[in-house]
Amino acid sequence: MHNIYLDHAAATPLHPEVFDVMVPFMKEHYGNPSSLHSYGRSAKIALDSSRDSIASHLNCSPNEIIFTSGGTESVNLAIMGIIAASKQKPVHVITTQIEHRAVLSTCQQLEDLGHAVTYLPIDKTGLVSIEDLNKAIKPETVLISINYGNNEVGTLQPIEEIGGLAREKGIYFHVDAVQTLGKIMINLLDLPVDLMSFSGHKINGPKGIGLLYVNKKVHILPNIYGGNQERKRRGGTENLAAIVGFSKAIELSVHNVNKNQKILNDLRSLLIEELSKELGHEGFVINGHPIKRLPHILNVSFQQMNKETLLMNFDIEGVAASSGSACTSGSIKDSHVLDAMDISPELKKGAIRFSLGINNTKKEMITAAKKIGTIVNRLRSK
């Protein structure tokens, strides 16, 4: 039985070209970039070259890039780094109710430390209101942190408008772009963004590597101390093999962003079409914004179904999907994203996220839809 992987929003397979560039830095080139001998100098050249390449593809300065252990650390560094560097105490932060747990848990920590956080509501499609945001701003507001593309339903937020408002009010703006990189063109020179988080394993790169873009005009304090790496903003020996791989993954994803966007949109449309054939147009409900969305995420509610039962049956038939973020996959609680969207209890109970990748095929979409349809129809008939 051919397994069909539809959980690319959780993790993507390593691209062969990414693997190839990483291998030498796990075997021959093992020097520490901070060492002064030839091994260290060789490692430092590779580190600098990777940073330069990433900066060119994101259209920013190499000095504006901080390598981290992944998206979660990048988010933590952005939020806590801004707060730590703020001369004003306590401060006020604005985010939304549908952020990734990396943001929400960090904001909870801020509240525990005596700071104030406003969690903006969103509409039934997952969009935040600029009017609500404007009303939430206070004199002590120092940071707005909002996800570019939601990891559960795929809704894209109006980042340009939000950033414009933040600039007008003199407030720092952080964007979690972990799901968006490689799916939509990102030009940091044009975007009104002060900090932006990225991760390697969402774009066919390695796990355990991410980065934080910090505009050169922005000052943050580190979360991790112990060395002068990353211009004293993140201590610790650099994960060179992963950084080299991340650089290659960004190069491939940015160069092919338009092509990949079309591939993913076509696959998503085909999956919807085939599910409609199997279950009828009334047999499922699509959650999220119909137009302002990421191309690779399809969140579907199957009425009269239980997501745990569905996922177990899908897995038995070789279809890998999820009920939401991989960071909360061990939980049987309803999605906080769907809660905030005011989705009915019945639809929340049967909500499944299918997330597609560039390795998926049209044949897989047809096969997956048939298996999903068979399972749903069987369970409904009981």
Cα distance between the two ends of the chain: 26
3-state secondary structure (DSSP) of residue 301: strand
Q: Are the C-beta atoms of 68 and 234 separated by less than 8 Å?
A: yes
- As a whole number of angstroms, the distance between CA 222 and CA 216 comes to 15
Catalytic positions are 327
What secondary structure letter does DSSP report for 64?
A: G
Residue 211 sits at the vertex; the CA angle it makes with 127 and 103, to the nearest 5 degrees, is: 40
φ, ψ dihedrals at 317, nearest 5°: -90, 5
Residue 378 sits at the vertex; the CA angle it makes with 376 and 380, to the nearest 5 degrees, is: 65
**Alpha helices per DSSP H over 14-114:** 16-22, 24-27, 38-58, 71-85, 101-112
Q: Beta strands 285-287 and 297-301: pairing type?
A: antiparallel
Which amino acid type is present at position 251? Answer: E
Give the chain's largest Cα–Cα span.
70
Q: In this structure, what token pair is assigned to residue 72?
A: 């979660």
Residue 254 sits at the vertex; the CA angle it makes with 248 and 256, to the nearest 5 degrees, is: 100
129's CB contacts (< 8 A; 6+ apart) are: 120, 121, 122, 123
